[in-house]
């Protein structure tokens, strides 16, 4: 496959990153990174440690502003949006799983999962019913009342995946979601992300340095020194 395929998705793109640059001080983390994720597509983003994978993911979801280049989520240009609109778009349409859960420590597991729906003014009843359902699907049906600090790393990551999926986002971005987990938990969570993506037609961007994870993707994009190219998968 050729590099141009990166910008020519099969169907409607849910994420388009075009020639993004991002510098931290003198450190050029991204020097022309581009990728596209189509609806229903699973894209693995791989590359050596320090190549800019997390920076690219953070720019893709608007947690970091790109210095130049364009990022579009569901056809909306993040660079020209107001902060509040960008936050709302991320909360409604993007499911984010970071490497280490990132749950709110003062909230119970169920409150963490219900929170995105409560912020969307869904009723408490609906939000907590959905939270219970997603905790069950993520394989932790009994942890709803526990605080994150009372859970194991694997349980916390399962809760984080439940929280990412509870809004049924059209774009799911996960940064090494299984990196810190034992093989069985990692496999279960990866399986859940792929299954839900296939069910809902969400696009999935999976940052990973695990070849077995990359092999499950439709397409692989490789980052090296802040530049993207097409990988060997697909």
Q: Which residues contact ligand ADP by CB under 6 A?
A: 24, 27, 29, 47, 49-55
Nearer to ligand ADP, 29 or 89 (CB): 29
Nearer to ligand ADP, 27 or 136 (CB): 27
Residues 6 or more apart in contact with residue 70 via CB below 8 angstroms: 16, 17, 18, 19, 20, 77, 79
Residues 6 or more apart in contact with residue 82 via CB below 8 angstroms: none
157 binds, among Mg ion, ligand ADP, none (CB under 5 to 8 A by kind): none
Nearer to ligand ADP, 40 or 226 (CB): 226
- Asked if 158 and 177 touch (Cβ cutoff 8 Å), the reply is no
CA distance 151 to 163: 15
Residue of 167, 221, 186, 200 whose CA lies nearest to 45:
221
Residues 6 or more apart in contact with residue 177 via CB below 8 angstroms: 97, 99, 157, 161, 186, 189, 190, 193, 206
Do β-strands 171-175 and 203-207 pair in parallel, antiparallel, or remain unpaired? parallel
24 binds, among Mg ion, ligand ADP, none (CB under 5 to 8 A by kind): ligand ADP
50 binds, among ligand ADP, Mg ion, none (CB under 5 to 8 A by kind): ligand ADP
Nearer to ligand ADP, 124 or 224 (CB): 224
Instruction: Give me the least distance between CB of 76 and ligand ADP, in Å please.
Output: 24
Instruction: Give me the least distance between CB of 55 and ligand ADP, in Å please.
Output: 3
Size of the residue set binding Mg ion (CB under 5 A): 2
Sign of the torsion formed by the C-alpha atoms of 131, 136, 141 and 147? negative
Q: Is 54 in the site for Mg ion (CB under 5 A)?
A: yes
Nearer to ligand ADP, 35 or 166 (CB): 35
Instruction: Give me the least distance between CB of 172 and Mg ion, in Å please.
Output: 17
Nearer to ligand ADP, 133 or 229 (CB): 229
Q: Is 208 in the site for Mg ion (CB under 5 A)?
A: no
Q: Is 156 in the site for Mg ion (CB under 5 A)?
A: no
Name the CA dihedral angle for 115, 79, 58, 173, rounded to a multiple of 10 degrees.
Answer: 60
Q: Name the site residues for Mg ion (rule: CB under 5 A).
A: 53-54
């Amino acid at each position: 496959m050729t590099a141009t395929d990166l910008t020519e998705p099969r169907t409607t793109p849910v994420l388009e990153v075009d020639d993004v640059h991002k510098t931290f001080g003198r450190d050029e983390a991204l020097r022309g990174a581009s990728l596209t994720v189509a609806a229903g597509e699973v894209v693995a983003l791989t590359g050596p440690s320090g190549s800019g994978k997390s920076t690219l993911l953070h720019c893709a979801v608007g947690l970091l502003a790109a210095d130049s280049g364009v990022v579009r989520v569901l056809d909306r240009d993040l660079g020209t949006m107001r902060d509040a609109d960008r936050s709302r778009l991320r909360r409604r349409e993007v499911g984010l799983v970071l490497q280490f859960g990132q749950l709110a420590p003062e909230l119970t597991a169920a409150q963490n999962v219900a929170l995105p729906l409560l912020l969307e003014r869904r009723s408490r009843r609906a939000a907590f019913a959905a939270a219970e359902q997603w905790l069950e699907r993520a394989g932790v049906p009994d942890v709803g009342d526990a605080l994150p600090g009372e859970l194991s790393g694997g349980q916390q990551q399962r809760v984080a995946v439940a929280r990412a999926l509870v809004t049924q986002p059209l774009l799911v971005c996960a940064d090494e979601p299984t990196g810190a987990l034992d093989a069985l938990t990692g496999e279960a969570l990866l399986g859940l992300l792929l299954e839900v993506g296939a069910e809902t037609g969400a696009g999935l961007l999976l940052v990973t340095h695990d070849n077995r994870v990359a092999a499950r993707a439709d397409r692989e994009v490789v980052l090296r020194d802040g530049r993207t190219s097409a990988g060997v998968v697909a």
